[in-house]
Amino acid sequence: MKNLVIFGAPGSGKGTQSDLLVAKYGFKHISTGDVLRGEIKKGSELGQTAKSYIDKGQLIPDSLMIDILAATYDALCPCEGVIFDGFPRTIPQAEALKSMLAERHTQVAGMLELQVPNDMLMERLINRGKTSGRADDNEETIRKRLTVYEDQTKPLIAWYEKEGLRHAVKGYGALEEINAALCEVIDSL
């Protein structure tokens, strides 16, 4: 099994690149953002809770998010491999992922970091907001999400570096170029 974490700021292209990797390698894709938006659409209790955080640009509490992740994982695997997209977003989530996978006799093979300058992220997300219909793709909430990323998620770069798992890739330019850079890392793992 090759379990990969695709990492980057909001708007860094995690979802887009994950789709390309799924098509090439046949990995399962776990996007916690998609899982939560699915729950909101269904109108479940979990969806209602998630919405109250997402609309404010905040993170869902770790304990809840970790349970959701484990349930999603167990519904899909054992399998070829998983791309974790949007998880972990905090250090406790990274630690939980590590022990969850260890309990299942597997581990993260690599963390793929998409590097995109801040002004480009802002521009991409504002543009996406014009068509995505996502309540959190408006300028005020985007700013909040980028701050949350800086404060709570960015420390994971050093965490994965210490684990010897971090691989940084340039996250802008042609989609195919970014994809090729990611594939090169994956094939080396």
Binding site for Mg ion (CB under 5 A): 15, 33
Residue 11 near which of Mg ion, ligand ATP, none (CB within 5-8 Å, type-dependent): ligand ATP
The amino acid that residue 179 corresponds to is N
Between 13 and 81, name the residue whose CB sits nearer to ligand ATP: 13
Q: Any catalytic annotation for residue 124?
A: no
Q: 87 phi and psi, to 5 degrees?
A: -145, 130
Which residues 139-158 are close enough to bind ligand ATP by CB under 6 A?
Answer: 145
- N-to-C CA span, the chain: 11
Residue 73 contacts by C-beta under 8 Å, 6 or more apart in sequence? 30, 82, 100, 104
DSSP string, 32-98: HHHHHHHHHHHT-HHHHHHHHHHTTTPPPPHHHHHHHHHHHHHHH-SSS-EEEES---SHHHHHHHH
Token representation of residue 97: 């992922």
Between 33 and 47, name the residue whose CB sits nearer to Mg ion: 33
**Please, what is the minimum distance in Å from the beta carbon of residue 36 to ligand ATP?**
5
Answer yes or no whether residue 51 interacts with ligand ATP by CB under 6 A.
Answer: no
Answer yes or no whether residue 14 interacts with ligand ATP by CB under 6 A.
Answer: yes
The amino acid that residue 3 corresponds to is N
Cα(72)–Cα(139) distance, rounded to whole angstroms?
31
Q: Any catalytic annotation for residue 128?
A: yes
Between 72 and 188, name the residue whose CB sits nearer to ligand ATP: 72
CB atoms within 10 A of CB 58: 15
Q: Any catalytic annotation for residue 166?
A: no
**Please, what is the minimum distance in Å from the beta carbon of residue 158 to Mg ion?**
23
Q: Any catalytic annotation for residue 143?
A: no
Q: Any catalytic annotation for residue 134?
A: yes
Let me know: does 28 contact 81? Beta carbons within 8 Å: yes
User: Among 28, 56, 128, 144, which one carries the catalytic annotation?
Assistant: 128
Residue 108 near which of ligand ATP, Mg ion, none (CB within 5-8 Å, type-dependent): none
Footprint of ligand ATP on this chain (CB under 6 A)? 8, 10-12, 14-15, 32-33, 36, 53-54, 58-60, 65, 86-87, 89, 93, 136, 145
